[in-house]
Structure 1
Amino acid sequence: MKPQSLLIAGALAVAVIAVLAVLLPGLSAPPSPGPGEGEPAPVPTPTPAPVPENGTYVNATYGYALTCPEGWLYTESGESVWFSSPVKHEEVRVNAIPLSGGNTADTEKVLLALNETYAKDLAAGIDARWVSTERISLDGSPGYMSAFSAPINDEDDYTFIARYTVRNGTLYSVMHTVFPAEYDIYNADAAPLAESFRFI
């Protein structure tokens, strides 16, 4: 059996790559040059922090909040925040990526391209297969939810779920994993945490 922590981290890492890859030319801003003739500055390793005692994580920069289970940690890294259970398995990730100039004219194009990119990159990265895509409302903002199935071992699969929308010129994605019943430790709180996503 593959270690579950690697499965979860692998799924979410590939999904972040997919999010970045889908920002088509003209929709994303070029990277800023770093110090020293275009060399990027070293990026410090993000440090997990406990979720506030009231259980609500608020991201004032990108205007959203989630309700977190007791004891969970969150880690902020640029446009991404991921939430980990007390046993250190990464289970939920939120990305908020501003589109260049707040361009929302191609919102539907961005969302459809993102869905196609998820399907392609998750298949290549973690051998996931697309299961379904449906239109949803992510806290009142029109978007999509896609589900993918990925192998744990020769007999079991887990499900990777991504919800995404564009709001006020920013592409938001909320991702989590769902494991079979016998892997209860990985199922306890990920879905309710992801579903608690709301704009503020």
Structure 2
Amino acid sequence: MLGAWLTRGLVMAVVHAAAMTLLAKWSVFHPTDQTVITSVTLAVLVGVAALWGAVDGWLGKPDRGRAWFIASLVAGVVSGILYVIGRAVFVDQTGTAELGAALTGGAAFSALLVMVPAGLGLFVGSRVRRPAAEEEPEPEDHGPDDGSGSQSGQLELPEAEPATSATSATSAAAPRPKPSPVSRPAAARARKRPTVAGRSPSPRPR
């Protein structure tokens, strides 16, 4: 916050003091031709404040309105002091008698020339949409690769294949083995033969 309004206030004060000193110098050599140069100077001062305010609004600077309000007050007072010094050095050796007027009416006029254009710039700049930055998707971190296709520290196990309905259907449809015709009479005779308790039947001689 401190750096924001201090930087803007000092820069605008220097710009305003330089512009007013140039106008005073021009009026000495061209007393009857001041309309064009005055209009151009005012347009430059208004444009600088409006452009700077629009950039702050576009960037979304925090507390930009308060910063520009304080900066306009600082610019008005400091520009009045710098104007008196610049005029005394480069124009007509003006003394401290001009300091009172520069710190009252001149400072107020300079403050308005900063505050109003900067406020309009903030309003316009905040309505302009900033282009959305294209974010590249970050690659997923799967850990270091040991060259065998598996991650280090992890053991890949083969996935068990689930039993499908086709396999069950194939096993159900498989034909059951039929008993041979030779074993059928032998099994029937074994059932008809009498047995003795505790002894197995002895084979009948053929």
TM-score by length of 2: 0.24
Q: Please state which structure has a larger fraction of its residues in strand.
A: 1
Q: Please state which structure has a larger fraction of its residues in helix.
A: 2
TM-score by length of 1: 0.25
Largest Rg, 1 or 2? 2
